Structure formats: C-alpha cells, structure tokens
Amino acid sequence: MIPTGMQLLPDQDIDTTASVMPGLTYSLNVEKGVIAGKVDGLDAVKQAVLKILSTERYQHLIYSNDYGIEWKSILGKDHLYVRAEIRRLITEALLQDDRIEAILDFRTSWAAADEIRVSFTVQTLYGSFQIEKEVS
C-alpha cells in the first residue's frame, strides 16, 4: 500500500541522513557454544567483527555476498603478496558494517608456512579495540 495524505512543499527539505541502527543483539559465548543475554555498543561491534572474520565469503547462502572474508584467496601465497592483500581483505570485509569507521595499525606475521597471524585496531562509533586473528 502506498501512503497517502503527506505533502512536500517546494521549499521543504527532506532529511536524507541515514541514522545508525541500534546494535543490540544476542551475546554469543563461543567458548561454551551458547547464546546468553544481549550486548550493545562496542561489545556488539566486537562480536560482529569476530563473526565476520570467522565467516568465509561466498560459502554460506544465508549471508549476502558482501558478508565475510576471503581467507582462501591468500592462504599458501607468497608472504609479500599476503602482507599487501590481507590489509585490503580485512578492511573491505569490516567496513561493510556502518558502525566501523577505520581499520588501523596492521601487523602481519607467520607462525608457520601456512599460518598467518594478523593484528589491527578497529575504530568504531563507540571507541577502538585491538583484534588478533590466526588463520591457517
């Protein structure tokens, strides 16, 4: 149904600024494998980041093609290539969330030939936090 009864005058502006949706979501306890309570704000963004970094892009029909990260595209590749590409992959994946403003301070190392360790800072609307991720 199309709404009726509203009129926009020629000199009247429409507010086109997008508002940030609330981040209240269920709290995932990964260690215990349960959902317990709810989280909001910075804790909700931390949880979203960990979930995005744990989801391989294009592998799950439930997610859009914009969700997740393409770890498989860099595993086993030359270290110089990985060092450059991992920054792009992480930034592209995380900036899909409108609560995330920037990804900073990348550090990449290898624990083994096929085990990448990356750490970085996530700057959000609610503050910043450090992330460390190991991929193999």
Alpha-helical segments (H) within the chain: 41-53, 79-94
Neighbour count for residue 69 (Cβ, 10 Å): 21
pLDDT at 9: 66
Domain 25-135, what fold? Nuclear Transport Factor 2; Chain: A, (3.10.450)
Alpha-helical segments (H) within 11-111: 41-53, 79-94
What band does 33 get if pLDDT is binned at 50, 70 and 90?
A: confident
- pLDDT tens per residue, range 90-132: 999 999 999 999 999 999 998 877 788 999 999 999 999 999 9
List beta partners, residue 120.
131
List beta partners, residue 113.
none
- Which pTM does this prediction carry? 0.78
Q: Domain-by-domain residue ranges, the chain?
A: 25-135
- pLDDT tens per residue, range 39-69: 899 999 999 999 999 999 988 889 888 899 9
What band does 5 get if pLDDT is binned at 50, 70 and 90?
A: low
Query: Encoding tokens for residue 52?
Result: 């995005």
